[in-house]
Structure 1
């Protein structure tokens, strides 16, 4: 039984090490995902500005078409004005020309505003694309670093998994079942040391008779407080 308890403690050490490596790997993968999300967000901002630019350019083209229409109206009216023979009709055409010229002034002002807005958006897009290029370079470097670290962790996990498999082979199924259940119930820690009369899992004092039984190591003994399996390490036994 002593050998089984020692193997169980070693299994606990391996599992905790694997847990730590898995947690670190998950954190690294989360960091990589966050980097990708940051890139996606930057690209979305550029896409949104491009849509805004397209709307501004479409508005500008519509205004320019209206401007051209008004200019054509003036040319037509002025040409027609030369053929007018009555004062009343002349005044009516003159009013149309004046209204068209006022409309042209307003359209030109609106077009100028669109031109300025387009220039501003183009400048912002250029800045965002420059920032995106720099960000892509940084993200690539960081992701490469993350990948190397993940590969190193995978190597460590694989090595520990092989040790775990060898360790598990020597343990009875009943003990393994109990160990797995306790791992699930006690946040991954099923086996703990007993030292100086205390359980190091919950830091509670153990009954003296139970503590003395641990020195014999002839049975699986659990802490009456936290129910974890108790072991005595060689240094403590001495």
Structure 2
């Protein structure tokens, strides 16, 4: 149902980045259908002057529900090219204006990053990237890839880290009340004046910030059960 509706919606203005918000909010209804208790902290930090690169941890296909609730206006996401072959959802994802990257071909992958930079600097469009590149599936926050940090530095736009609590610890989709998801938006990091030599330091800083915040959110949720 989600995919069919989204596909019809996007056909009226294909690949327009403004499509993303409407589609995202529609998919976020999954939180209500699954009866998930959702809360976001520091949501105001999603509002930035100009454009930004938003990054978050990547756990499961369920990410589409909480991300759908919080993605800001004129913000597209970056996903693997293989998404295109998921029936209905794949076409909807592409027609929403999101960016598909071919991770198996480095030359094409970096060309896609140049497209993301163009969106940030020329098209008044922010980009949301999950820098782990693949779902962690309960293994904690995995190592980050460079693309998001390369794009933020090249475009000289802020990078906004977003941490999402661990699904494997706090969700059980076999229950009527499926559990809780908490999201925390951290302070934006200014990349003005940074160069490629700063990329690894920025990447490691963001990884630590998100990892530490996920751990804090998990601890707080466990405390709520006591």
**Shorter-chain TM-score tier:** under 0.3
Larger Cα-atom Rg: 1
- The TM-score with structure 1 as length reference comes to 0.19
Name which structure has the greater RCO, CA cutoff 8 Å, separation 6+: 1
- The TM-score with structure 2 as length reference comes to 0.19
